[in-house]
Amino acid sequence: MRVSSFIAAALLQASVTWSSPVETDDLVARGASKRPNHPIKPHHPGKPFPVSPARTKTCTVKTYGNGKDDSKNVLSAIKSCNNGGHVVFSKGKTYTIGTALDLTFLKHIDLDVQGTIKFTNDTDYWQANAFKQVFQNATTFFQLGGEDVNVYGGGTFDGNGQVWYDLYAKNNLILRPILFGTIGLKSGRIEDLNLRYSPQWYNLVANSTNVVFSDISISGYSSSSNVAKNTDGWDTYRSDNIVIQNSHIDNGDDCVSFKPNSTNIVVQNLICNGSHGISVGSLGQYKGEVDIVKNIYTYNVSMSNASDGARIKVWPGVSSALSADLQGGGGLGAVSNITYDGMVLSNVDYAIEITQCYGQKNLTLCNEFPSNLTISDVTIKNFVGTTSKKYDPLVGYLVCSSPTVCNDINIQNVTVKSPSGTNQYACANIDGIDSQVNCKKVA
């Protein structure tokens, strides 16, 4: 689907928003929150989202307090209210989770998190028992999946990240859990939540369809000299028809990253600070595997104090090592129909970065073994602001490993400048790019 047809589909579906049945007065009287009804706007992936029926019963989660593991209470309440119920985590209470919870059996249920859900700092337990996902050695504290699941309430998920930041500084091969694992969810809304101090990524959305994330606050920095690393806001993987919107993200890696086989996704109205940008990839990491990312629309993003604004990162055709715990190269696939529309940048190293040499510092070797993964039909437009001093006079990096696998890159109305007032890009192996931006050719 071309960009134009993608927008047309979005406009046709603009009136299709999630239906929020009113919760009964009886449920609200028993301490339940009313569901949020944040409309999907202004852009829409083009596919309708299923209606979520009103719930008919309420279960309130008990807590032991004093840091005692409440996992059994949580599981009991969820099982009692599955298939049509509303589970309340009461305001002002902290629920300690010290057991990995598999919640992929959920169906027609609302989780109303008004209080705080905090995961224990038992790093030995979580390394041994967190749920292992299939991509990049990812693990999650819990797995939320099933059908027609809504999570909201204004409360907080706390990953107790400091102990992990310090441990990772000693050993970068440890498995750090992701705070919120949306795994195999078919239709749901995750809204009005605070995500704090994740050990690694804040959100992994895997094998899921028809899911909306709205009005999420993400933050959590290290209080020691050991930086909180790899704390992506969202990573999507093998997922379709996803919306991420109306959120504020303070983190230390990608604000949003579209991992392999992410399709029909809208990201809009975000404030990102301290991140690595809105990123397609990394892709082509695993030899022999096919990675597809297509039909992505990013709109109205504020990006501050970041390494990148818009970023597409692909591994080359030769084995490469970005770090001791991240290597790859040689994978297959395609990136297509990607639109970045509207970004305001402040103190960002590169406004735009496209690379097919991710993880490979030797560009000669990268060009000798170009990426097996193609990049095409990319539109980047309506960017304003200033970059940081890091690469001045450059404001962007547009370097592919071969023009045969990287084409139809369109940059329009991008007026970003460096601190010294220049608008120069490093460019290579992209046909026609020098007629669109001020290029400095690189080998």
Q: Note the Cα 385 to chain centre separation in Å.
A: 23
Contact at 8 Å (CB) between 271 and 248? yes
Helix (H), strand (E) at residue 163: helix 162-170
DSSP state of 167: H
C-alpha closest to that of 224 among 173, 164, 156, 306 = 164
**Residue appearing with tokens 């992506």:** 232
**pLDDT value, residue 317:** 87
Average pLDDT over residues 240-250: 98
**pLDDT value, residue 18:** 35
**pLDDT value, residue 266:** 98
Q: How confident is the model at residue 169 (pLDDT cuts 50, 70, 90)?
A: very high
Q: How confident is the model at residue 368 (pLDDT cuts 50, 70, 90)?
A: confident
- Specify the amino acid at residue 103: L
The Cα 120–Cα 262 span in angstroms is 32
Neighbour tally for 392: CB within 10 Å: 17
Dihedral of the alpha carbons of 409, 258, 440, 322, in degrees to the nearest 10: -140
Q: Does domain 60-441 have CATH number 3.80.30.20?
A: no
Candidate from 27-31, 135-139, 178-182 with smallest mean pLDDT: 27-31
**pLDDT value, residue 134:** 85
Average pLDDT over residues 287-308: 97
Q: How confident is the model at residue 272 (pLDDT cuts 50, 70, 90)?
A: very high
43 catalytic per annotation: no
Contact at 8 Å (CB) between 35 and 26? no
**pLDDT value, residue 369:** 86
CA distances from 337 to 82, 295, 347, 364 (A): 39, 5, 28, 29
DSSP state of 36: P
Q: Is the pLDDT of residue 325 over 80?
A: no
Radius of gyration of the chain (CA): 22
Contact at 8 Å (CB) between 213 and 190? yes
Candidate from 5-9, 13-17, 367-371 with smallest mean pLDDT: 13-17
Q: Note the Cα 430 to chain centre separation in Å.
A: 28
Average pLDDT over residues 70-91: 98
The Cα 323–Cα 325 span in angstroms is 5
Contacts of 132 (CB under 8 A, 6+ apart): 138, 139, 175
Residue 46, SS3 per DSSP: coil
DSSP state of 22: P
**pLDDT value, residue 362:** 81
Half-sphere exposure of 226 (CA within 13 A, CB side): 13
Candidate from 7-11, 88-92, 223-227 with smallest mean pLDDT: 7-11
**pLDDT value, residue 11:** 34
Structure tokens that stand for 219 in this block? 């933050």
pTM: 0.93
Q: Note the Cα 236 to chain centre separation in Å.
A: 6
Average pLDDT over residues 68-72: 98
The Cα 388–Cα 273 span in angstroms is 14
CA distances from 391 to 18, 388, 419, 421 (A): 44, 7, 10, 12
Average pLDDT over residues 268-283: 97
Q: Is the pLDDT of residue 29 over 60?
A: no
**pLDDT value, residue 321:** 80
For 122-202, strand residue ranges (E) read: 131-132, 139-140, 142-152, 156-158, 177-178, 180-196
The Cα 428–Cα 321 span in angstroms is 22
- Specify the amino acid at residue 30: R
Q: Is the pLDDT of residue 27 over 90?
A: no
Q: Which residues of 139-171 are buried (b: 16+ CB within 10 A; e: fewer)?
A: bbbbbbbbbbbbbbbbbbbbbbbbebbebbeee
Helix (H), strand (E) at residue 236: strand 234-237
Average pLDDT over residues 375-386: 98
Q: Is the pLDDT of residue 6 over 70?
A: no
Structure tokens that stand for 18 in this block? 């999630």
The Cα 130–Cα 11 span in angstroms is 41
Residues of the chain with pLDDT > 90, as a percent, come to 83
Beta bridge mates, 93: none
* 414-425: pLDDT as tens digits: 999 999 999 999
Domain ranges of the chain: 60-441
